[in-house]
Amino acid sequence: METPITIIGAGPAGMTAALFATHTGAKVRLIDGNERVGRKLLVTGSGRANLTNQHMDANLFACADPAWMKTLLGQFGHAELIAFLESIGVLTYSTPDGWCYPVSESAQTVVEAFDNALRLAGIELVLNTKVTAIRSDKQSYSLTLDSGVVLNSERLIVAAGGKAYPTLGSRGELFGSLKALGHTVLPLTPALAPVTCDMTPYKKMLGVRLDARASLYEGTTLLAETTGNLIFNEWGLNGPAVMDLSHHISARSGAKLELRLNPLFASELTLRTLIARQRSTPTPLRILLGAVLPPKLPPVLLAKAGFSMDVKINELNDAQIGKLFRLLTALPFKVTGVRGFEYCQVSAGGVPVSEVDPLNMRSRTAPNLALVGETLDVVGPCGGYNLQFAFSSGAVAGTKINN
């Protein structure tokens, strides 16, 4: 008798793979070390689950081969995901900047909808059970469970995630087995992580939250640039603007890196116009800066530029104003690293996408094996890209595993 298709990992990738595999008429078994399915999904988007993005674009992923991602998203992209979520009872809406959330504003309702769909589809759920090793003979895969039991399966989907946020279940324990099956495993590093910096010059700005353009430099070379929200902490910077740069930092351990923040990326012209209008008046510069910046920022900037707190705009010459704008549009931060796996949203590294066929997510190395989600070396930016990748790769693997 044919063994069920076995899927390791009941995260977004594994659950989606399981549901699509049952559409093909196959029997499916889904194993997870946690007591319930979708444990990490439950905490995504600060409990709101940013499920996807209206502006889904293969080129925005840190993926060695954008064409690979385009092929995958071409089969199951944003529109297909919205329709699939609706089919299991999850309605979505999108914010003006394209970030998509459940109408319920609750990741819990998404996890419950998945749980219900898995049970309705008759999927065998094997929870609270860890797979400790995968071996293959020519006929099938044998999975050793933490109970000591060995399960056999002719077709296997590995959806066991990466190493991010290990308390939620994914600790990278199966990469050794994937290596033994012939796969390369690129070093795993934190991504979408808070960035640690020398905050000594910015101590008075702790707790400030603002939108900024963040540019990451190694010497004079611009490595990457993003725009978004960020928050100042005693150990460094957090928020999408810097998290989207963090994989570049993890990949360059020991390098001398500098972050330059431009909080005026959208308001420089407004400030220049305001200053030009008030140029001959005794208006304190602090007041003018306060028109476009959070109140804790102007005193720090004035001190850093070497001006007194009460300097008036008519006391400054054009060169001094030019110097101020150069500082304001490129506030320098000495980068010391990124926070660890405990604080990051995804991990970079894992199995390279070149070893998996994006048309079916099958391994190019081992027969009847598919690899999906964060197990692969893909990092999307903040905004729903990583969940979209998990869902897309799961849907394609589940659909194609049986043929």
Ligand X SMILES: Cc1cc2nc3c(=O)[nH]c(=O)nc-3n(C[C@H](O)[C@H](O)[C@H](O)COP(=O)(O)OP(=O)(O)OC[C@H]3O[C@@H](n4cnc5c(N)ncnc54)[C@H](O)[C@@H]3O)c2cc1C
| Footprint on this chain of ligand X (rule: CB under 6 A) | 8-14, 31-34, 39-41, 43-45, 49-50, 130-131, 159-161, 164-165, 169-170, 173-174, 345-346, 373-374, 384-387, 390
Closest to ligand X by CB, 232 or 385: 385
Angle at 198 between CA 192 and CA 203, to 5 degrees: 105
Q: How many CB atoms lie within 10 A of CB 83?
A: 9
275 vs 396, which CB is nearer to ligand X? 396
Smallest distance from the beta carbon of 269 to ligand X, in angstroms? Answer: 33
Q: Which CA distances in Å does 70 have to 190, 344, 384? A: 24, 26, 16
202 with 259: CB under 8 angstroms?
no
- Decide whether 238 or 386 has the Cβ nearer to ligand X: 386
Q: Are 373 and 41 in contact (CB under 8 A)?
A: no
Query: Are 378 and 2 spatial neighbours (Cβ–Cβ below 8 Å)?
Result: no
Nearer to ligand X, 175 or 232 (CB): 175
113 touches 88 (CB < 8 A)? yes
| β-bridge mates for residue 124, sequence order | 29
- Calculate Rg over the CA atoms of the chain: 25
Crossing angle of the two packed helices 107-120 and 12-23, in degrees rounded to 10: 30
For residues 368 and 327, give the distance between their C-alpha atoms in angstroms, rounded to a whole number.
Answer: 57
Which of 131/245 has CB closer to ligand X? 131
First-to-last CA distance in the chain?
Answer: 17
The least CB distance from residue 45 to ligand X, in Å, is 3
Query: Nearest approach, Cβ of 346 to ligand X (angstroms)?
Result: 5
Region of 171 (left: φ > 0; alpha: ψ -120 to 50; beta: rest) is alpha
Q: How far is the CB of 168 from ligand X (least distance, A)?
A: 6
* Smallest separation (angstroms) from ligand X to the CB of 43: 5
With respect to ligand X, which residue has the nearer C-beta, 196 or 215?
196
DSSP string, 333-366: EEEEEE--GGG-SEEEEEB-GGGEETTTTEESSS
Closest separation in Å from C-beta 27 to ligand X:
19
Of 205 and 390, the one with the shorter C-beta distance to ligand X is: 390
Considering beta carbons, is residue 174 or 328 the nearer one to ligand X?
174
Q: What is the largest CA-CA distance in the chain?
A: 89
CB of 195 to ligand X, least distance (A): 16
If we measure between CA atoms, which residue out of 7, 35, 11, 6 comes closest to residue 114?
Answer: 11
Q: Which is nearer to ligand X, 45 or 284 (CB)?
A: 45
Question: Residue 9: what residue type?
Answer: G
In the complex, minimum distance from the CB of residue 156 to ligand X, in angstroms, rounded to a whole number: 12
Report the C-alpha gap between 49 and 386 in whole angstroms: 11
Q: Tell me the two tokens of residue 369.
A: 């094996």
Residue 318: CB minimum distance to ligand X, A:
46
Decide the pairing of beta strands 378-379 and 62-63: antiparallel
- Least separation in angstroms between residue 29's CB and ligand X is 12
Pick between residue 164 and residue 324 the one whose CB is nearest to ligand X. 164
